[in-house]
Structure 1
Amino acid sequence: MFTRTESFREFIRFYPLVSIIVTIHIILFLLTILPIFPNQWFIETFSGVNLYIMEGEVWRLITPTFMHSGFAHMLFNSFSLVLFGPALERMLGGGRFLFVYLLSGLIANVATLLLEPLTYTHVGSSGAIFGLFGYYIAIIIFRKHMLSKQNSQIILVLCVVSLIMTFFQPNINITAHLFGLISGFLLGFFSQR
């Protein structure tokens, strides 16, 4: 389930939304580092800045979900999505998968807006990825038959490790991680009813 054995072409064909999201991550990362836009214009215009959101730049509630602060940040989040996104994309179908991903990211960013200072700046898809973790946890609790015991254990261990890392790593948007996880869990819970 979490082992990738497909060729590159097969992966794109089987999991088009995960492929598109990862491609967006890469393109936006390149746009932030290549000297195409002057003086970090791209990152300054599309990152989440609470003050600017309060002044009406509401696109900043979605765009940070696709942007990253550096190569390692982009690589880690994209790798997490490649590992854990395909199974959910297949289980939920493309539309529902995208809904869970985007809504978890949006809720994580709204929570960041409401709970962090106006000067707070954030980027990264972690809130949306934690939403996928939350959805998996809802499946483990309410639809045990959908995942094997081994895959359930993998998800739970990685979720616990990721949560622990949230509190011990520097420059982590703890609010986004927690609210992404909660929103994904609630979406999973309500979809089971």
Structure 2
Amino acid sequence: WQGPTFGAPGAHSAIGPAMYRALQDPRDYSRLWPAKLGRKTGLSRLERPASEQLFPRPYTSSLVLRETQRFPVSTQASRRNDGRNGGRRGGGRINRFNRRPGNYIVGQSKATVTNVLIVLNIIFFLFQQINPRFTQMGIRSNELVRYGDGYRMWTSVFLHGGILHLLVNSLTLRAYGPEVERMHGKVRFITIYLMAGFIGNLVGFLYGDYYQNSLGASGAIFGVIGALFMYMYRAERRVSMQPVNVSMSSLVWTIAFNMIYGLQRGSHIDNYAHIGGLAGGAAMAFLIG
């Protein structure tokens, strides 16, 4: 819409008498505009954008910058999921698996619970070295569990059979734990970890060698891997971690390597606990994630 031509018939009634007189008068009304013409005509000068009329320029810029920093946009995921398939993938529809904005980088958050779990494992291991009875009191003995020592399904998660066992589990937990902790939060992460350890021990108790004792955090750590696997499967995105880049294929190879190694004679690895922990962690991540 371009409006009526000034001086044409009907222009006086179309724009109002005050505005008509102002436009016909050659004098400069710029100083009187806000005080007089603005009140009479209800119009404002159009020399600045509306956003700058509402907010000064520095405030507008800082407001946009703050909101951009709070909610960074994953452009790669947006381009890949720009409404295809009815918005069912990643960027098309927000669900509980992709509701958290930003790029998923481990270094952006503190791995508090992960570090506490590693320290607890080290402390428990030191107690094991000081007094061997500490191991006997907490190890998962299927026979003792059958006769009422159900607490061993939890305590055995924090015990280890040697320094190498402790080192491997600590490094694996430190590699995968921070990302799962950041994705699900501290409370959900510790819930996934403990429940995966319990479910792993339960599967080992039901299907494993009845006369074989078991200990270690491997089942719980496999649960952490299962939670990450579930998240990546649902969110369909690559998760960048430090110091390695983790993809779906790398998780599959990690799981397969541990399972194959556990089948070797004399490996003393409870594969049933690993399978149970993996499934338990994925299930818990799906239920409470």
TM-score (norm 2): 0.57
Aligned to 1:133: 225
Question: Is 1:65 the equivalent of 2:160?
Answer: no
Cα drift, residue 3 of structure 1 = 9.5
- Report if the CA contact (8 A) 2:200-2:273 is conserved: yes
Matches within 5 A, 1:12-27: 14-27=110-123
* Residue from 145, 151, 156 that aligns with 2:246: 151
Aligned to 2:275: 178
- Give the letter aligned to residue 207 of structure 2: L
- Report if the CA contact (8 A) 1:139-1:146 is conserved: no
Identity percentage of aligned residues: 27
Take 2:162 and 2:206, find their aligned partners in 1: how far apart are those partners? Answer: 25
Gaps of 5+ in 2: 1-102
Q: Which secondary structure does the structure 1 equivalent of 2:258 belong to?
A: helix
Cα drift, residue 167 of structure 1 = 2.2
Cα drift, residue 120 of structure 1 = 2.1
Question: Is 1:187 the equivalent of 2:279?
Answer: no
Take 2:260 and 2:217, find their aligned partners in 1: how far apart are those partners? Answer: 18
Cα drift, residue 126 of structure 1 = 0.5
Matches within 5 A, 1:1-193: 14-34=110-130, 37=131, 40-145=132-237, 147=239, 151-152=246-247, 153-168=249-264, 170-191=267-288
Gaps of 5+ in 1: 7-12
Which protein has the bigger helix share?
Answer: 1
Between the two proteins, the alignment pairs up a number of residues equal to 181
- Report if the CA contact (8 A) 2:208-2:270 is conserved: no
Structure scoring higher RCO (CA < 8 A, sep ≥ 6) equals 1
Aligned to 2:82: none
Take 2:229 and 2:212, find their aligned partners in 1: how far apart are those partners? Answer: 29
Cα drift, residue 26 of structure 1 = 0.5
